[in-house]
Amino acid sequence: MEIIRAYSRRSLWWIIFFMGLLSLVINSAFYFAMTVVSEKILLLFVAQNKVNFPQLNEFIRQANLVTDMLKVFFVPVSTGVLFLFGFMLWLFSRRSFVKLMEKSYLISANMKAKVKPSESLKKPSAAPVPPAAAAKERKENDNRMFLHLLSVLQKEGRLLDFFSEDLEQYEDDQIGGAVRSIHENCKKAMSKYMASKPVLEENEGDEIVIQPGFDSNAVKLTGNVTGEPPFKGIVRHKGWKTARLELPALSGDRDPNIIAPAEVEIV
């Protein structure tokens, strides 16, 4: 859902901002404290030079070593810990928000069912599908349609067989003859389910003026693209769009991962 993605992005940026600000404050305070401690140690060192006290000299040396190590390691370690904590906080808040959205979706669906009882008596309504399950089902259907397309191209044109061949052992004229047959059969298979037409009516090489408000998904601009439209350019490719699409009905009793079954001749 768009609202979940928007919340995830916004909450992540805010957590990064506040954790960075907190890291800056903590590291600044630590650096200031270490500076004060270093100055105190320096004063002790000056005083020790006036009084010969070996134990104090060893203490000052150890204290200087500790402060130097803290200055080197404290800032990256503290920053890493804060950002790790922030990332865990973001994961927890996002998970809580997703559960809250799913719960509110179910409550809203139940309320609608209670408000219109007559409609529910006329036509039994299906149980509400959680957003996560619906998204998973859409993804599985998309995968099945893609694999079905490959299955059709393999069945009609032996496309996957051609891709799996090692062409190094064949001459160019042999490859050309095979490609002609594959092209013809795959074209027939595609024409059963869809028809395509160019996005632009102009021919390749013709000049064209792209007006303001053009569809950037349909027309891709290349070259010296500066300023605002209208743009004057040359058609390099007319593009393709769907003129007819007839999706086949998929069978639910077969494994969608099987693109083409193996063939065994019984003797």
pLDDT, tens digit (0-9, with 9 covering 90-100), for 88-104: 888 888 788 777 777 77
- Mean pLDDT of the region 205-234: 92
Is the model more confident about 168 or about 235?
Answer: 235
Is the model more confident about 48 or about 139?
Answer: 139
- CA dihedral for 196, 198, 201, 206, sign (positive or negative): negative
- Give per-residue pLDDT as tens, 2-44: 777 777 778 888 888 888 888 888 878 877 877 777 777 666 6
Reduce the secondary structure of the chain to three states and give it as a string.
Answer: CHHHHHHHHHHHHHHHHHHHHHHHHHHHHHHHHHHHHHHHHHHHHHHHHHCCCHHHHHHHHHHHHHHHHHHHHHHHHHHHHHHHHHHHHHHHHHHHHHHHHHHHHHHHHHHHHHHCHHHHHHCCCCCCCCHHHHHHHHHHHHHHHHHHHHHHHHHHHCHHHHHHCCHHHCCHHHHHHHHHHHHHHHHHHHHHHEEEECCCCCCCCCEEEECCCCCCCCCCCCCCCCCCCCEEEECCCCCCEEEEECCCCCCCCCCCCCCCCCCCCCC
pLDDT over 90 (residue 209): yes
CA distances from 140 to 144, 154, 188, 218, 250 (A): 6, 21, 27, 27, 12
- Mean pLDDT of the region 168-195: 83
How confident is the model at residue 119, as a pLDDT? 47
- The residues spanned by each domain of the chain are 2-118, 129-194+243-257, 199-239
How confident is the model at residue 56, as a pLDDT? 56
pLDDT over 80 (residue 248): no
What does pLDDT average to over the chain? 78
pLDDT over 60 (residue 236): yes
How confident is the model at residue 120, as a pLDDT? 46
How confident is the model at residue 126, as a pLDDT? 57
pLDDT above 90 covers a percentage of the chain that reads 13
pLDDT over 70 (residue 117): no
